[in-house]
Amino acid sequence: MVLLNGVLAESKRANLDPQLVLSLIDVASGFKKYAVSSGGARGYMQVAPYWTKSAGSTDANLFHVLVNLRYGCTLLREFLDRENGNVRKALVRYRNQMDGQFNDKSLPAERQSDFPDIVVRLHNTRWRYDTASM
């Protein structure tokens, strides 16, 4: 429940669709709290430690569910804004940061993996919440 409540709260704070966040978590970490990527990204949302340092925090625990969700949702919102709302391009940027690749802000995101397509597919299928069926 902590994870789900955290996803709802942080999604709302960052003006994100909670189902998109759940889809990203599903693909990025498989809902493994202690997942670590090849680039060192950590936790449910696979946030690179670089981001905590750039935010001025030297002791942020990215394995703590709420800390991880705060950073992950903030990053996703930043990437969506940078890409003018283009979800696939924002997800490519998100995937790049998981691998420790930090692109210059002026450079456009380029498709480098199937990550964005898988996240979008899960968003439209597994994590779709249809209020009309209730």
Q: Is the dihedral of CA 128, 129, 131, 133 positive or negative?
A: positive
In the prediction, which pLDDT does 59 show?
Answer: 74
In the prediction, which pLDDT does 98 show?
Answer: 85
Half-sphere exposure of 84 (CA within 13 A, CB side): 2
CA max distance for the chain: 46
Query: At a CB cut-off of 8 Å and minimum separation 6, what does 104 contact?
Result: none
In the prediction, which pLDDT does 6 show?
Answer: 97
Q: Quick one: tokens of 6?
A: 């955290």
- Mean pLDDT of successive 10-residue stretches along the chain, which has 134 residues: 96 97 95 92 93 75 95 95 95 86 49 80 85 51
What is the rounded distance in angstroms from the CA atom of residue 78 to the CA atom of residue 99? Answer: 18
In the prediction, which pLDDT does 107 show?
Answer: 44
- Predicted TM-score (pTM) above 0.95: no
